[in-house]
Structure 1
Amino acid sequence: MPDQIVLLPDNIANQIAAGEVIQRPASAVKELLENAVDAGATEIKLIVVDAGKALLQVIDNGSGMSETDARMCFERHATSKIKKIDDLFHIKTMGFRGEALASIAAVAQVELKTKRAADEAGCLLEIENSVVTRQEPVATPDGTSIAMKNLFFNVPARRNFLKSNAAEMRHIVDEFTRVAMSFPHIMFSLTANGQQVFYLEKGTLKQRIVQLLGNHYNAKMVAVKEETDYMNIYGFAGKPETAKKTRGDQYFFVNNRFIKSAYLNHAVMNAYQEMIGSDSFPMYVLFIEIDPEQVDVNVHPTKQEIKFEDEKIIYAFVQAAVKHALAQFSVTPTLDFELDASIQQLSSVSQPFTSGRREEASASPLYKGFTQKNQAHFIERPAASELKHWKEFYEPIKKEEAFFEYEKTPPPMFGSPQRQNNFHVDEHTELLQVLNSYILYPAENRFLLVNQQAAHERILYQQMIAAVDGAPIATQSSMFPATLEMSPADAVLLNELLPYFKVLGFLIEPFGNNSFVIQGTPADFDSGNEKQIIDFTIEQYKHFNSEIKISNREKLIRSLSRQRAIKTGTRLTEREMKQLLSDLFNCEPFNMAPDGNPTYLEFKQEQIERMFGK
């Protein structure tokens, strides 16, 4: 029998290695931008065509390379950063493993032009499938230009896994933002399909943050700065009012390298405790400077996950630094211990609560109904993540354990049958609004407590689904078109969603430089808050990008229905209540909001009587 084990050819080995490092165009953007930074460049330009699938080029004015170095840089594990094993523990550069250029050359057609200031002529190299096809002298400015064309041209299966241009462009903008944020002293520009997306002049960190994340943060950030012998931390944290429902604007850098760390994010969230809601996320851009010996950056192929020698010290330091910054700028909340005079005069406040009264109160069925376990008010709302624990939520409640029962029919995606609709609204139906948020609907031997916002979300969702599947919603032209200013990343996202918005009645047109004009809105839309609706819809859309993979159309419709729905606390006329319930009972299913929460609770007479001891 012949021997079975052979060494892989270099080009195949490189393609396998590329799978770890170059997963999409944005991966190459990260590696090439970091190489330009390591070369000491003061100006770095990124040019992309077709979201990097056709062309991805980085031009810098850094140190350049000799002819020999230009040839060597495409070899596997070729690096100028590490000479001996000890160097691994003192890494201060962005790249160091020597995999990036070899991986890029294995899956794209590469053209490299480079020149050192001391050399009269530069060097041109063309590489395809890890093989040098051309090498000659060339006239070129000092620095390096590397162009990557036709990504995955020789690995069609990998190319097929790439997303739409808009989706891939969003990833490119993310990687560009992370590198540009780290080095505000370097000029960066990004051009996509001939249009300039970013032009970032050299400046301060605060100026760079505002350029990248949007002008609305300009006056709404507090400076974070703490220094010790062990480590330093500096940067900015957003004031509590800037907190969003998505994690988008959160950046951690260790020795100028962007990292992902749920552990450190938890430290920041703890610093904001009681200042923002548990489902909100603060903005922060924080830089940690620490001795490289205390950090291992070599635990992940993209170097975005690192290990600290002592994580607990870092955690405590980050939390304390952010807390101190918020307190220093009078952002932390103050407590008001004064009671309203009218409340103080109430007998329940002014008279002592004796032991006799306590026993009398605790013996009543009403008290027991609201204090014993497994009662109706103990039914917890589903987790914020979409339908994450839907199975537990839809388990039936045992009759002997619960006073209140309500509909818990799963949404259609789980294939449960819809219960027969016996409810209807006519001119004799008497409705009552409670707490400006709920509607009491009487029925035989029972009543429904309808959540007006959840009900309206279900109605709008069903209307939009029908519009997308059939005739688009009619658009009314805006007499005074509103202009939307977006952050670059959100502008890329909105561009991707424009066709869906159009079907749903919103006519939005790009206006250049990350701005848009709202030329029309749905015919039944109240004008005046178009900008707010679109802004919040985009934010909500990103919020839906969680555990369950659903289509862009579905996410947008869910987001829009949530934003346009009648909000909790809105007073409704009797006519509006009747119309709302009539529309709800015509939906299928009518007992479930788009996010899986119930639109109403059902209270039966026998259950209520049991509560009152009958």
Structure 2
Amino acid sequence: MLNVIQLLPDSIANQIAAGEVVQRPASVVKELLENSVDAKAKSVQVIVREAGRNLIQIVDDGVGMTETDARMSFERHATSKIRSSDDLFRIRTMGFRGEALASIAAVAQIEMRTRRAEEELGTLIRIEGSDIKAQEAISCLPGTNLLIKNLFFNVPARRNFLKSNSVEMRHIIDEFQRVALANPEVAFSLFHNDQEIYNLPAGKLSRRIVDMFGKSYREQLNFCEEQTPYVTVHGYIGKPESAKKARNEQFFFVNNRFIKHNYLHHAVVGAYEGTLPEGSHPFYVLFIDIDPSHIDINIHPTKTEIKFDDERSVYAIMMAAVRKAVGLYNLSPSLDFDSDVNFLAGVRPKPVSTDVNVNRNGNADSKSATSGPGSARPISPSWASGATQQPANERTSLRNESLDKAAGSSFDIPRKADHKPSVNNWQTLYEGVAGNASPSPGPVAQPVEKGDWLGPAKPAPAITEPPTAESEPITLGSRANQLQVSLESPEQDVPVLVDDDNIVQIQNRYLLAPIKSGMLLIDQRRAHERILYDQFHASLTKRNGASQQLLFPKTITLMPVDFQLALDLRDDLTNLGFEFDELGANTFVIRGVPALIMGENEEELFANLLAQLRADTGRLKLDRIESMARSLARRSAMRYVNRLSTTERKALVNQLFASANPSYTPTGEPVTVVLSLDKIAGLFR
């Protein structure tokens, strides 16, 4: 019988290894940057053309290599860092498996120039597809200069699966940022198509963060450090108010190696003790120094995932370090006896002297204050807690406001402080409650748009007299009234509103409307998200998004990765209604925004949309139109948690039920919930 098993040729084995090591141009940049850092370089320059398809050049001033080392570096499993199996448990450098250069040489054309400082001549090596084409002595600068040309030139299938230049460039920038953050003592620069993207001088970590992400980060950086015999944690964390929805500015480094670790991220978020907005992620750059024998870094081909032998201890130390920094720099909410900044926006403020309970000695009440930094909690506004401390004129004012509170304080956030409550029409609050009288047609019976939170009560129908045209209530038409279906029937699944004039708003967040089978509860923000998504999706599909021109154009400077994303999505952003032009490196001038979302900060809207798109691109497998419509709808709907007038409530419900899917958001979250009569009755048992 013939033998069928044989060894693979080195060229094929290298291509197989390249499939794991070299996934895209960013993989090449990562491996070569780590090699430069291991070579003790003080300055590293990265030059890229066509997002790495045509050229990737890494120039460093490291120790360089001899002629023999230069030739051996392209052999498989050739490394200067492993001598015995015990060395695998003491690894502190980046590359150690000896596969990077061999794998890259298998799928690209490589030209390397290298020289040691103590030698007069250096070495030039040319390789194409693992075949050495030339090796000779040349004159060159100390260090190493590597040129990677025509990546995947001999593997057309892999080259065809590369994404657009902007997407591949974003991945290169991500890898560049990680290596640059891990090594702030090394100067880094990045050029793409002869345009400078980053020029980072050597310095401290804080300066590296500001140089990389912008001057706005200078105000939010707070140092974090915790030392234990087992592990040391140090780095910088951001303030809670600077947290972002997109999770793309969180960096963990273990022994200067970037890692991804959801367990440790949970520890950091938990240390903020509820001070973060819902769904937001804080900025942090945290370094973990630990004995290499306690970790396993070789469990993933890209070495971005590691295992600790005692994850619980690392989790606890990480949380303690961040919690200490949060308290030390007063990042959590604290009591303020001179202002009302701790109260929620929209709550009716009281005079300065009565913001919190204070005893006669001027000390905070023990129920409100806490001892120790970082342990304070947000203050929940409560009118009952401070009633006895108020002067007589304020108690009188509160008594006059009691009717307003009875009508709407439990449902809507009160009005602004400069709007004095009116009690002239208090009789209208009780008309129709007991079915005793109908409101008079005079001015007293008219609803007050700004202060009538529940709307006028519907009068009880007269029993003895038939209704006339003058006595019948006038109902404004609504699309929801045309839905002649009921939940009580098995074939009907859309609720019909009994009366859309009595839609109640609860805490500026929910809408409550009566239906035949009970009550319909609508999430106001999610309803706006569903409506905006339908409108944005139609604009992108039909390419007819309306744009509102800005009277004064706004200039915005973005991170390089977001700048590249905006260039890639320029046509789609224009279809939405954005109008912008390039104004230099990483800078745009915004001349117009979508007409559907006027009233927001244009620079913040544009930057947040790009950040959301970047996050969705990596997480969701959606086409571009779907992703953009979802991202902008989610981002724009955040500002719709506010007070709505009666007309606005009806319009919102009308538009919601005009949607093809009013019950769910584009991401599948429920928009409406039906509280049946049986469920309501069960709450009182």
TM range, normalised to the smaller chain? 0.7 to 0.9
Name the residue aligned to 1:280: 280
| 1:29-88 Cα shifts (integer Å, max 9, x gaps) | 111001111111111011111111111111111111122221111011111222333333
Please say which of residues 201-210 and 267-276 is displaced more in the overlay.
Answer: 267-276
Partner of 1:397: none
Whole-Å separation in 2 of the counterparts to 1:149 and 1:99: 19
Task: Check conservation: 1:110, 1:126, Cα contact below 8 A.
Answer: yes
Alignment match, 2:237: 237
C-alpha contact 1:245 1:279 (8 A) present in aligned 2: yes
The two structures have a TM-score, normalised by structure 1, of 0.81
- 1:444 Cα offset (Å): 5.4
State the alpha-carbon separation in 2 of the partners of residues 8 and 109 from structure 1.
Answer: 22
Amino acid at match of 2:604: Q
Deviations 1:131-160 (A, max 9, x none): 011222333221111111111111122222
User: 1:237 and 1:108 mapped to 2: Cα distance?
Assistant: 40
Query: For residues 52-201 of structure 1, what are the structure 2 equivalents within 5 Å?
Result: 52-201=52-201
1:432 pairs, out of 503, 510, 516, with 503
Structure 1 residue runs without a partner (length 5+): 348-404, 408-417
User: CA offsets per residue over residues 479-536 of structure 1, 9 Å max, x none?
Assistant: 2111222223333333333222111111122323322221112245425521222233
Cα 1:329–1:441 change in 2 (3 A) is closer
Structure 1 pair 608–90 and aligned structure 2 pair: CA distance change class (3 A): closer
Identify the residue that residue 652 of structure 2 maps to in structure 1: 580
Task: Indicate conservation of the 8 Å contact 1:431/1:439, yes or no.
Answer: no
SS in 2 for 1:343: coil
Residues 162, 406 of structure 1: alpha-carbon distance in 2 compared, 3 angstrom cutoff: farther
1:537 matches 2:609: yes
Q: C-alpha separation between the residues in 2 aligned to 1:607 and 1:424?
A: 18
Between 1:442-451 and 1:549-558, the stretch displaced more is: 442-451
Cα 1:215–1:552 change in 2 (3 A) is farther
8 Å CA contact retained: 1:166, 1:492:
yes
Match of 2:255 in 1: 255
Q: Residues 12-38 of structure 1, C-alpha deviation per residue, up to 9 Å, x if partnerless? A: 000111111111111111110011111
Residue 199 to residue 605, structure 1, CA distance change in 2 (3 Å): same
Q: Is the alpha carbon distance of 1:110 and 1:576 closer, same or farther for their aligned partners in structure 2, counting shifts above 3 Å?
A: same
1:503 aligns with: 575
Per-residue CA deviation, residues 260-316 of structure 1 (Å, 9 max, x unaligned), is 222322332332232325633222111122233333333332222223343333222
Rounded to whole Å, the distance in 1 between the matches of 2:289 and 2:679 is: 62
1:532-583 deviations in Å (ceiling 9; x for gaps) = 2223323433454576422232122112122333745422233333333333
Instruction: Please say if residues 294 and 309 of structure 1, whose CA atoms lie closer than 8 Å, have aligned partners that are also in contact.
Output: yes
Does the CA contact (< 8 Å) of 2:503 and 2:650 recur in 1?
no
Q: CA deviation at 1:108?
A: 0.8
Q: Alpha carbon RMSD of aligned pairs, Å?
A: 2.9
Give the structure with higher Rg (CA). 2
Query: Per the alignment, in what secondary structure is the counterpart of residue 430 of structure 1?
Result: helix
**TM-score with structure 2 length normalisation?**
0.73
Which residue in the other structure is 1:367 paired with?
Answer: none
Partner of 2:372: none
Aligned residues: 544
Q: Does 1:203 align with 2:187?
A: no
> What does residue 344 of structure 2 align with?
none
Distance 2:193 2:618 in 1: 30
2:545 partner SS = coil
Q: Which has the higher contact order (CA 8 A, sep 6+)?
A: 1
Residue 430 of structure 2: aligned partner:
none
The alpha-carbon deviation at position 447 of structure 1 amounts to 5.2
Residue of structure 2 in register with 1:460 after alignment? 532
Distance 1:605 1:323 in 2: 46
Single out whichever of 279-288 and 66-75 deviates more from structure 2: 279-288
Flag the 1:586–1:151 CA change in 2: closer, same or farther, 3 A. Answer: same
- Does the Cα contact within 8 Å between 2:495 and 2:515 map onto a contact in 1? no
CA distance in 1 between counterparts of 2:382 and 2:673 reads 36
Question: Unaligned stretches of 5+ in structure 2?
Answer: 336-364, 369-379, 389-484
Check the 8 A contact 2:528/2:640 in 1, yes or no. no
Distance 1:343 1:225, change over 3 A: same
Amino acid in structure 1 at the alignment position of 2:505:
V
CA distance in 2 between partners of 1:80 and 1:146 (Å): 19
CA separation in 2, counterparts of 1:71 and 1:263?
42
